[in-house]
């Protein structure tokens, strides 16, 4: 049985004598609050809620029970609503149920046992509603985490990018004071999930800034649509899937303007992903922050000017790297030489700090084929998980 401290009930009536009688009857049974009239009741819900159950009289001046319970539902949809009235007309009951989504309809005078039974039933209904939502929240969080872990295993580079994009999106959302940020966070974390369908060598070229062939570019630009389809299979992530699917759409083609983009969450989310991804790409090339922002501001047909201006307040995510011994045949575009490479006769083949581009890798493999250099070298390699990773996503799924 629910303990007194966990059953919070609000009674709303304009009859003070009735409220006092209710307080005497149930003060040892529930954590009870009383409010004289609808206005006071709404204030109690805003300032002292949530309540599991609210019981309201029908006949009240200024604001009747139907009006009060309808507005109470807007404040807290989970609260179970019970109507109490001296008027037993059927049409009044039906109207109350339809307008305020009433759980029970009781008629005055109401016996204490009947009232207690109705409140207990309301508490049980509240438990069912909230426990189902909590289960959905945990299932959703688990699904997102599984996908993120899968991306980390299948494509560490793509996961590394999505993690940095998530950090930039989160910072932008805070600067813009956006609501329900969890949707944008999830969209960012899973923004590269479609890259599991892209060959690793193409992703390496993308993340290193290497020019793609037309066929490679077409393949890479298909990942948002594929990723969006994957996410659309998860309940309650429909808008997130649309954000991911349209993240490469240019601002001039997105159907929004600077003035109204804040009112379209899908377009706003997609544009957050787009500009954060490009910000990450330019930052990784080593450009100064001011130069990156200037670049994005100039491209106002591609990126939302509002977001480009807001990026000025965003802190750059430092990419975590590690020193590793790597076989020459395993070098990729994302790696940097951590040592000078000399032939056995002392000829410098490549200096420390040089990027392992395709041409350099080909040159090294030729020297290796003639056995003039060692098979393994020291290289600086991007870590699979950058330092910003590890933040959890709070997802208030009740909205």
Q: Give pLDDT tens digits for 216-236.
A: 999 999 999 999 999 998 888
Does residue 144 belong to any structural domain of this protein?
Answer: no
Does residue 221 belong to any structural domain of this protein?
Answer: yes
**Could you list the residue range(s) of the whole structural domain that residue 330 is in?**
321-382
Same domain, 228 and 88: no
Same domain, 329 and 349: yes
Of 10-24, 48-62, 73-87, 343-357, least confident by mean pLDDT is 343-357
Same domain, 307 and 160: yes
- Model confidence pLDDT, tens digit, residues 56-71: 998 898 898 889 998 9
Same domain, 209 and 286: yes
Radius of gyration over every alpha carbon of the chain, rounded to an integer in angstroms: 30
- Which is nearest to 160 in space by CA: 206, 129, 124? 206
Same domain, 125 and 21: yes
CB within 8 Å of 330: residues ≥ 6 apart: none
pTM value is 0.59
Same domain, 26 and 68: yes
Query: At which of 286, 313, 340 does a domain end?
Result: 313
**Is the CA virtual torsion 97, 102, 103, 107 positive or negative?**
negative
Question: What CATH code is carried by the domain that includes residue 108?
Answer: 3.40.50.2300
Same domain, 35 and 96: yes
Q: Which residue has the higher pLDDT, 6 or 49?
A: 49
Does residue 147 belong to any structural domain of this protein?
Answer: no
| 83: helix, strand or coil | strand
Same domain, 283 and 373: no
Q: For 187, which DSSP code? A: H
Q: Over 60: is that where the pLDDT of 2 sits?
A: no
Same domain, 246 and 216: yes
Question: What CATH code is carried by the domain that includes residue 249?
Answer: 1.10.3210.10
Tally of domains within the chain:
3
Q: What average pLDDT does range 159-163 have in this prediction? A: 84
Does residue 396 belong to any structural domain of this protein?
Answer: no
Query: At which of 274, 289, 313 does a domain end?
Result: 313
What pLDDT does 1 receive? 40
Which range is most confident: 175-189, 197-211, 281-295?
175-189
User: Three-state SS across 375-398?
Assistant: CEEEEEEECCCCCCCCCCCCCCCC
Query: At which of 313, 331, 356 does a domain end?
Result: 313
Q: What average pLDDT does range 126-148 have in this prediction? A: 83
Q: Six-digit token pair at 134?
A: 């909590």
Does residue 279 belong to any structural domain of this protein?
Answer: yes
- What percentage of the chain reaches a pLDDT higher than 70? 90
Q: Which helix (H) or strand (E) holds 223?
A: helix 223-232
Same domain, 287 and 219: yes
Separation of alpha carbons 44 and 239, rounded Å: 34
Q: Which residues of 113-127 are buried (b: 16+ CB within 10 A; e: fewer)?
A: eebeebbbebbebbe
Does residue 145 belong to any structural domain of this protein?
Answer: no
Does residue 172 belong to any structural domain of this protein?
Answer: yes
Same domain, 219 and 109: no
| CA trace torsion 99, 106, 16, 3 (10° rounding) | -100
Query: Which residue is it, tokens 């059927």?
Result: 90
Q: Over 70: is that where the pLDDT of 334 sits?
A: yes
Question: What CATH code is carried by the domain that includes residue 353?
Answer: 3.90.105
- Model confidence pLDDT, tens digit, residues 246-257: 999 999 999 888
Q: Which residue has the higher pLDDT, 134 or 331?
A: 331
Does residue 142 belong to any structural domain of this protein?
Answer: no
Query: Which residue is it, tokens 């041409």?
Result: 359
Q: Is 181:173 a contact under the CB 8 Å cutoff?
A: yes
Within 13 Å of residue 62, how many CA atoms lie on the same side as its CB? 9
Same domain, 264 and 178: yes
């Amino acid at each position: 049985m629910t303990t007194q401290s966990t059953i919070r009930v609000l009674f709303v009536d304009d009859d003070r004598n009735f409220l006092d009688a209710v307080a005497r009857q149930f003060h040892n049974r529930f954590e009870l609050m009383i409010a004289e009239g609808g206005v006071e009741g709404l204030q109690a819900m805003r300032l002292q809620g949530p309540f599991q159950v609210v019981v309201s009289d029908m006949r009240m001046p200024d604001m009747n029970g139907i009006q009060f319970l309808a507005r109470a539902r807007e404040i807290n949809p989970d609260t179970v609503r019970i109507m109490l009235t001296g008027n037993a007309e059927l049409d009044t009951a039906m109207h109350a149920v339809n307008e305020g989504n009433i759980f029970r309809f009781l008629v005055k005078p109401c016996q204490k046992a009947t009232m207690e039974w109705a409140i207990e039933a309301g508490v049980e209904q509240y438990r069912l509603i909230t426990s189902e939502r909590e289960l959905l929240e945990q299932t959703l969080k688990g699904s997102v985490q599984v996908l993120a872990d899968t991306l980390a295993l299948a494509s560490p580079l793509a996961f590394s990018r999505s993690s940095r994009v998530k950090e930039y999106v989160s910072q932008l959302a805070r600067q813009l004071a956006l609501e329900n940020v969890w949707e944008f966070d999830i969209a960012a974390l899973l923004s590269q999930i479609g890259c599991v369908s892209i060959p690793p060598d193409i992703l390496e070229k993308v993340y290193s800034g290497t020019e793609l062939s037309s066929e490679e570019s077409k393949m890479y630009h298909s990942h948002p649509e594929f990723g969006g389809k994957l996410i659309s299979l998860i309940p309650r992530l429909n808008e997130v899937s649309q954000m991911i699917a349209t993240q490469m759409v240019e601002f001039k083609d997105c159907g929004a303007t600077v003035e109204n983009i804040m009112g379209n969450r899908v377009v706003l989310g997609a544009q957050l992903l787009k500009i954060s991804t490009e910000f990450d790409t330019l930052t990784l090339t080593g450009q100064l922050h001011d130069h990156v922002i200037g670049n994005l501001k100039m491209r106002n047909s591609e990126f939302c000017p509002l977001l480009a201006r807001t990026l000025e307040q965003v802190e750059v995510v430092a990419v975590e790297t590690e020193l590793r011994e790597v076989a020459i045949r395993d070098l990729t575009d994302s790696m940097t030489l951590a040592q000078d490479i000399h032939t056995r006769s002392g000829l410098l083949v490549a200096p420390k700090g040089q990027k392992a581009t395709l041409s350099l890798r080909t040159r090294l493999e030729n020297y290796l084929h003639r056995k003039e250099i060692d098979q393994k070298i020291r290289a600086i390699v991007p870590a699979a998980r950058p330092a910003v990773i590890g933040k959890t996503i709070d997802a208030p799924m009740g909205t």
